[in-house]
Structure 1
Amino acid sequence: MMRIRALPVAGPWAVDIAIALLVQAAMTMPFVVPRSPELAPATWAAYGLTTLTVVPLVWRRRAPVAVLLAILAASALYKLAVEGPGQPLPYTGLVIVYTIAAVSPPPKRLATILLLVVAVPVSVWLNTRSARELTFSLFVFAAAYVFGRLTDARQRAHRIEAEQAAARERARIAREMHDILSHAVSLMIVQAEAGPVAVRTAPERAEAAFDAISETGRDAMVQLRRMLGVLREDGDDGGPQAAGDAPREPQPGLDGLPELVRRVRGSGLDVAYEVTGEVRPLPAHTEATAHRVVQEALTNVVKHARAATVRVRLAYEEDLLRITVTDDGRGPGPGTGKPGGHGLIGIRERAAAHGGTGHTGPGPDGRGFEVGVTLPLGP
């Protein structure tokens, strides 16, 4: 399927140059608009000094306070040395005050406020000496400063949100990797330990054990390659994936549970699988969570329970899916690995991520161990 590449994002230099050109265009308008006959004509010297107040904006994010001082000096020279057309707004001053408010630390922001408290009244005194202009100038500069602080707050919120999203994604990937590797390695260890015994007593069982080891390993590799294929970024050329890259397939769902149960049975464990209630389609993420919950619960049985039988039950109720995995093993206790651990924590985290609940503890009548999870079936 053809993929559309994202448009390149302009760098800071390009953005600052574009802003300087836009400000220059705005400040050029009074020079090209016809002036009243009683006013002196605009000169190239005046236009050059106007441009001199704009050029420093190219460095506005790298040295904002120095740019502010350069703009104030060039503006003062323009007022005192030439007779040029005025501007409806102090464009360059507003841009640099906004920038200082958005990117500078508190000491520089405070110094800028103190400087403006002096510079704005002086500029008004050199121009019209009217209270109206003073009030308007103070208002627009204050507005520029407030917009800069709002931009800084919004960027901080976006950074925090991005960091939180990255942390959630790392936790999700850790759960997926744990489930895949823990399940596959546990089954392979059980089969490998049974293999030598079977070679001496029942060669046909040994062959089946080695077949189960290779099948489990291949399945784990497929799932890992699928996950890495989803995480892998496209190349710089934006072309299709290279040969051998993992296809970006969906996560496992409930239709994969019978195969999962079959593989676990191959380790010698008697696994019963039961589905009750009205079976109906579920969102893909809910099915993937249910699959991983059952997978992790069975992995714990294989690794820790020393059980002979285990029962996997999926019950479709009116508004939720209830998953129960119960074994007849030695139950929770010292050395079993069942009271805690990343796997059981991951089960509860998966359930909570979908608005459900998860619990682990002794099985019925206090025997064995039970993992129970409820997942809402609604949005």
Structure 2
Amino acid sequence: MAADIALAVLVVVVVGATIAANIGDTSPPDPVAYALAVVLGGVMLVRRRWPVGTLLATTGVLLAYYTTSFPPVGLAVPVAAALYSAAERGRVRWAVGVSVALLVVSTAARAREGDDLAYLLGYEFVGSAALMASVIALGDAVRSRRGWRAEVRRQARAAELEREREAARRVERERVRVARDLHDLLAHTVSVISLHADVAREALEDDPDTARRSLAAVRAACGDVVRELRATVRALRASDDRAPVPGLDRLDDLVASTRAAGLDVRVEVTGSRVPLPAVADAAAYRVVQESLSNVLRHADARVVHIGLRYSGDGLRLTVRDDGRGPDGEGAGWGIIGMRERLALLGGTLRTQAPPGGGFLVEAEFPPVEAS
């Protein structure tokens, strides 16, 4: 509103000054002429809401002004603000059309009155047309720049929302990863504790040494799970990803704890062992851990074979037991989690019950160079 009031005052002052100059007329200007100048300025107060109406009203007042004997005020100056407002509000066609109509009507009327055509066309027409074109171009440029700024702000907001969504997706993926790790860790540890607790309960009276060894294994398993839980909490609190995660370098400890639970675990490594990327190394460890947990809980097996075959095509990991095979209990979240881990790395996981009995887990990791 302040800008519109300032523009209205400017129009009144400019047109009033032109009237007061009284070019070509010696008689004092009529007060009605000044009143029409005030009307030209007053319509600027509604230019934002009714840009076309403001332009037409200004044109009508100007035509009414020139039907009298008031001092000439020119053609472009009184309508300049209205033309600018119409173009600024996106009504460029209306502004151009009204400008052309005013130029044609004014030139024809003055030529009929006997004005010099050379002066009329070479000076008046060109000057008025240039001023009208300039204010229309200025208004359209302001509108375009305003639209560009709005688009930049919109794109910035969209980019910010996308960054927030991506951050939320990363947090969700991290939560899923932590949930998988905790599932694998707790499932394996609880299985080991359960088996040792059963052994200790049965041997408590007949074989105290065995019971003590089983309870010691339970205590060791509890210590391991507490350490891993603390490491997980540290990783969640850390501001970076440098918190250590278990990998195949801890496979011997995992095998030892499983053997202590009474399972004969045999490991065979084929090919030259090469370091895997941290995420693939952790995934391989979790696949072995979950597979051994399933064997302890569901398979009633005696022997488990773990195979690690390194080659230029990556790593092929197999875990096979001689138990009774799947009975519907082992197809829960553990296998789903393993399959999701491999899918995120571009690998595959296959599970099957071989003809000879037992259960087989095969994990194919992508080439080391592509991981």
**Under TM normalisation by the shorter chain, which class is it?**
0.5 to 0.7
Q: Is the 8 A contact 1:319 1:378 kept in 2?
A: no
Q: Using the TM superposition, give the Cα deviation of residue 260 of structure 1 relative to its aligned residue in structure 2, in angstroms.
A: 0.6
Moved more, 280-289 or 222-231: 280-289
1:355 and 2:315 aligned: no
1:170 partner letter: R
Matches within 5 A, 1:258-273: 258-273=252-267
1:142 and 2:132 aligned: no
Equivalence for 2:235: 230
Counterpart among 344, 360, 364 of residue 374 in structure 1: 364
Q: What RMSD over aligned residues (CA atoms) do the two structures have, in Å?
A: 2.7
CA distance in 1, matches of 2:51, 2:269: 75
1:345 and 2:305 aligned: no
Q: Using the TM superposition, give the Cα deviation of residue 124 of structure 1 relative to its aligned residue in structure 2, in angstroms.
A: 2.3
Bigger proportion of residues as helix: 2
Q: Using the TM superposition, give the Cα deviation of residue 199 of structure 1 relative to its aligned residue in structure 2, in angstroms.
A: 1.5
Q: Using the TM superposition, give the Cα deviation of residue 149 of structure 1 relative to its aligned residue in structure 2, in angstroms.
A: 2.4
Equivalence for 1:254: 248
Equivalence for 2:6: 78
User: What secondary structure does 1:358 align onto?
Assistant: strand
C-alpha change, 1:260 and 1:117, in structure 2 (3 Å) is farther
C-alpha change, 1:290 and 1:81, in structure 2 (3 Å) is same
Matches within 5 A, 1:25-44: none
1:124 and 2:129 aligned: no
User: What secondary structure does 1:332 align onto?
Assistant: coil
1:132 partner letter: A
User: What secondary structure does 2:318 align onto?
Assistant: strand
2:204 partner letter: V
1:295 and 2:295 aligned: no
Greater gyration radius: 2
CA distance in 2, matches of 1:293, 1:287: 10
Q: Is the 8 A contact 2:247 2:282 kept in 1?
A: yes
1:79 partner letter: L
Equivalence for 1:215: 220
What do residues 59-94 of structure 1 show as CA deviations (whole Å, max 9, x unaligned)? xxxxxxxxxxxxxx12223334579xxxxxxxxxxx
Equivalence for 1:103: none
What do residues 329-368 of structure 1 show as CA deviations (whole Å, max 9, x unaligned)? 110124xx12x211111111111111111111213x2510
Matches within 5 A, 1:1-379: 73-81=1-9, 122=82, 124-125=84-85, 130-232=135-237, 249-334=243-328, 337-338=329-330, 340-363=331-354, 365-376=355-366, 377-379=368-370
C-alpha change, 1:249 and 1:198, in structure 2 (3 Å) is farther
Q: Is the 8 A contact 2:217 2:260 kept in 1?
A: yes
Q: Is the 8 A contact 2:51 2:85 kept in 1?
A: no
Equivalence for 1:92: none
Q: Using the TM superposition, give the Cα deviation of residue 232 of structure 1 relative to its aligned residue in structure 2, in angstroms.
A: 1.6
Count of residues in Structure 1 that have an aligned counterpart in Structure 2:
261
Runs of at least 5 residues in structure 1 that lack an aligned partner in the other structure: 1-72, 84-113, 235-247
2:188 partner letter: H
What do residues 277-314 of structure 1 show as CA deviations (whole Å, max 9, x unaligned)? 11112222221111111011000100111111111111
CA distance in 1, matches of 2:234, 2:168: 23
Q: Is the 8 A contact 2:264 2:302 kept in 1?
A: yes
Q: Using the TM superposition, give the Cα deviation of residue 249 of structure 1 relative to its aligned residue in structure 2, in angstroms.
A: 4.3
C-alpha change, 1:137 and 1:294, in structure 2 (3 Å) is same
C-alpha change, 1:138 and 1:82, in structure 2 (3 Å) is closer
Q: Is the 8 A contact 2:83 2:136 kept in 1?
A: no
TM-score w.r.t. the length of structure 2 is: 0.65
C-alpha change, 1:215 and 1:115, in structure 2 (3 Å) is farther
1:285 partner letter: V
Q: Using the TM superposition, give the Cα deviation of residue 125 of structure 1 relative to its aligned residue in structure 2, in angstroms.
A: 4.8
1:281 partner letter: P
What do residues 38-72 of structure 1 show as CA deviations (whole Å, max 9, x unaligned)? xxxxxxxxxxxxxxxxxxxxxxxxxxxxxxxxxxx
Moved more, 225-234 or 321-330: 225-234
C-alpha change, 1:207 and 1:161, in structure 2 (3 Å) is same
1:375 partner letter: F
2:221 partner letter: T
Q: Is the 8 A contact 2:51 2:82 kept in 1?
A: no
1:357 partner letter: T
What do residues 185-237 of structure 1 show as CA deviations (whole Å, max 9, x unaligned)? 11101111111111223211111100100000000000010010111257xxx
CA distance in 1, matches of 2:335, 2:212: 33
TM-score w.r.t. the length of structure 1 is: 0.63
Identity %: 36
C-alpha change, 1:156 and 1:309, in structure 2 (3 Å) is same
User: What secondary structure does 1:200 align onto?
Assistant: coil
